Amino acid sequence: MTWITVFFFLLILINSVQNKFEEKRNVLMIIMDDFRPAIFAYGDRLAKTPNIDKFVEKSFYFTRAYAQQALCAPSRNSMLTGRRPDTIHLYDFYNYWRTFVGNFTTLPQYFKENGYLTHSVGKVFHPGISSNFTDDYPLSWSNKPFHPKTESFMNSAVCPDGSGVKKKNLICPIRVHSQPLQTLPDIESANEACRFLKNNKKQAKPFFLAVGFHKPHIPFRFPKKFLGNFSETDFDWKISPYKPLDMPDIAWNPFTDIRMRDDFANLSIPLFGPIPKEKAIKIRESYYAAVSYVDDLFGKILTEVNLENTIVLLTSDHGWSLGEHGEWAKYSNFEISLRVPFILYSPEFQLKKRKPIKHIIELIDVFPTLIDLANLSKLPKCKTNKKYLKACVEGKSLYKILKNNSKGTLPNIALSQYPRPNIHPKLKSNTDKPRLNQIKVMGYSIRTNNFRYTMWIKFTPKNFTRHWNKIYARELYDHRFDDEEAINLVNSSFYKQTLTRLENKLITCFSK
């Protein structure tokens, strides 16, 4: 073999490797709704999630990933624009960021602008005015977003009671053929995702496919067969059904959307609860059955995915409380409402076993991480007084952590917030979901390696002013012995220096 032959052989080899590296990977992003990490592989031994568990075996999974606000529309807007709620000023469902604040580039829009076919299935952006009644089409999506026909029945009277009368119940196990159009929204979404994946297996153009499941969000309407995975005795948890004594009233949410359901409306539940024990057990059982239901649909979608050239992310918009602190909802700054699953697979990393990562991350990290994994051009960080750049992100890319398992090289904190219309919760007010002009208090929360610290301060929505000197309540929880955040240590002299340090850090981080 002459040196010329060797040279050309090496040149072909180098070009082949380079082309493979530069090949654009497909991206599949799956967003569950109200999904705390009720996953067996995450250590929840009650969960029946065989498909997610199997996916975890070949993936990175972050055990401490956090939403920026525990409410659907603000969380999704934040995640899909890569910006914090205080930047996009969207704390409710009633404004569209492009016309209200700025024409910010979204995650799917960035992929579309870089030559990707982008497609939305189900609940990705929150539907309605918060995404311009179009799911931000055509700016974010190449095709008109797919919405299941049965979405229109999600809160209808379709739950048969014992006498055959159909009601708007919270707990609603059903037989699928008995439902309108003989199907359910998430089944329709899974079928559409499978159709899209089958049709694009041999397409030259890479795709960004986002699939949003509605479950395990209430009402708990799911195929009855998934109740067979559980026993009611599994869900008689030994936690107090009452609000902790040292929990400030302003941190409480009255879970009004539970109270208004037909099967709960006549229980006359007091403002601070508790709900009857047998109802608590039923809610927990139904939540876990709904999780098993979407786990089954997730497995069906994965069978159509070519993992050799597809990045896959499974996450949620926020968590959900199953009686912790006596609450049954999200709408708070507690760990249980903010912590979400974050399971990430990339063909770039051939893992021999699953890789748990304890580094604290945020949902605003999704945007920069996925474009890094897809080898797209990086976006600049949004900086002070330049927050209205069309294309920038406030999150951090997790690529270095994935590649080097590096620790300490990236910020190890999470920032979250939640608004309130009153200092004290009320049943006949919008305590859980205040509109922008109703907000009087904002709870700002910082999660560090060992602590969660939350300040509830005066907030002026007219000009989005934080009044750090007007504090209504504070919370400090030490996760070294209190993962349930049941013991508020804010008045403990032992933690005085810790509290001062965290308060300074929180104010600094939110004031950038």
What's 429-495 look like in SS3? CCCCCCCHHHCCEEEEEEECCCEEEEEEEEEECCCCEEEEEEEEEEEEEECCCCCCCCCCCCCCHHH
Q: Model confidence at 345, in pLDDT bands (50, 70, 90)?
A: very high
Give the orientation angle of helix 72-81 with respect to helix 366-373, to 10 degrees: 40
pLDDT at residue 429, rounded to an integer: 83
Average pLDDT in the 48-61 region?
96
Give the orientation angle of helix 185-199 with respect to helix 277-302, to 10 degrees: 10
CA–CA gap between residue 148 and residue 317 (Å, rounded): 20
Catalytic residue among 89, 119, 126, 214: 126
pTM of the complete model = 0.94
pLDDT at residue 438, rounded to an integer: 97
Q: Model confidence at 293, in pLDDT bands (50, 70, 90)?
A: very high
Active site residue 72: yes
Phi, psi for residue 172 in degrees, rounded to 5: -145, 65
Residue 99 CB partners (closer than 8 Å, separation 6+): 132
pLDDT at residue 22, rounded to an integer: 54
Range of the domain at 458: 3-392+403-510
317-328 per-position pLDDT tens digit: 999 999 999 999
Residue 8 clears pLDDT 90, i.e. is over it: no
Q: Is residue 397 part of a domain?
A: no
72-110 per-position pLDDT tens digit: 999 999 999 999 999 999 999 999 999 999 999 999 999
Average pLDDT in the 38-67 region?
97
Average pLDDT in the 294-320 region?
97
Q: Is residue 227 part of a domain?
A: yes
Q: Which amino acid is at 23?
A: E
Q: Could you tell me the CA-to-CA distances from 183 to 146, 221, 499 in Å, in that order? A: 16, 11, 52
Residue 175 clears pLDDT 60, i.e. is over it: yes
CB atoms within 10 A of CB 381: 14
SS3 58: coil
Residue 1 clears pLDDT 70, i.e. is over it: no
SS3 94: coil
185-217 per-position pLDDT tens digit: 999 999 999 999 999 987 889 999 999 999 999
Q: Model confidence at 18, in pLDDT bands (50, 70, 90)?
A: very low
Residue 374 clears pLDDT 80, i.e. is over it: yes
Catalytic residue among 72, 159, 172, 392: 72
Percent pLDDT > 70 in the chain is: 94
Whose CA is closest to 169, among 298, 28, 264, 97? Answer: 264
Active site residue 382: no
Instruction: Give the burial class of 315: count Cβ atoms within 10 A of its Cβ; 0-12 exposed, 13-18 middle, 19 or more buried.
Output: buried
Q: Is residue 398 part of a domain?
A: no
CB atoms within 10 A of CB 234: 14
Q: Is residue 477 part of a domain?
A: yes
pLDDT at residue 10, rounded to an integer: 45
pLDDT at residue 15, rounded to an integer: 44
SS3 309: coil
CA–CA gap between residue 394 and residue 383 (Å, rounded): 8
Q: Could you tell me the CA-to-CA distances from 44 to 39, 372, 411, 449 in Å, in that order? A: 6, 31, 27, 21
434-477 per-position pLDDT tens digit: 999 999 999 999 999 999 999 999 999 999 999 999 999 999 99
Query: 322: domain CATH number?
Result: 3.40.720.10
376-428 per-position pLDDT tens digit: 999 999 876 555 678 899 999 999 999 876 555 678 999 999 999 999 999 98
203-260 per-position pLDDT tens digit: 889 999 999 999 999 999 999 999 999 998 999 988 899 999 999 999 999 999 999 9
pLDDT at residue 203, rounded to an integer: 81
Q: How many structural domains are present in the chain? A: 1
Q: Is residue 318 part of a domain?
A: yes
Mean pLDDT of the chain: 93
Q: Could you tell me the CA-to-CA distances from 327 to 239, 259, 337, 456 in Å, in that order? A: 11, 12, 10, 19
Q: Is residue 8 part of a domain?
A: yes
Q: Facing residues of 441 across strands?
A: 420, 458
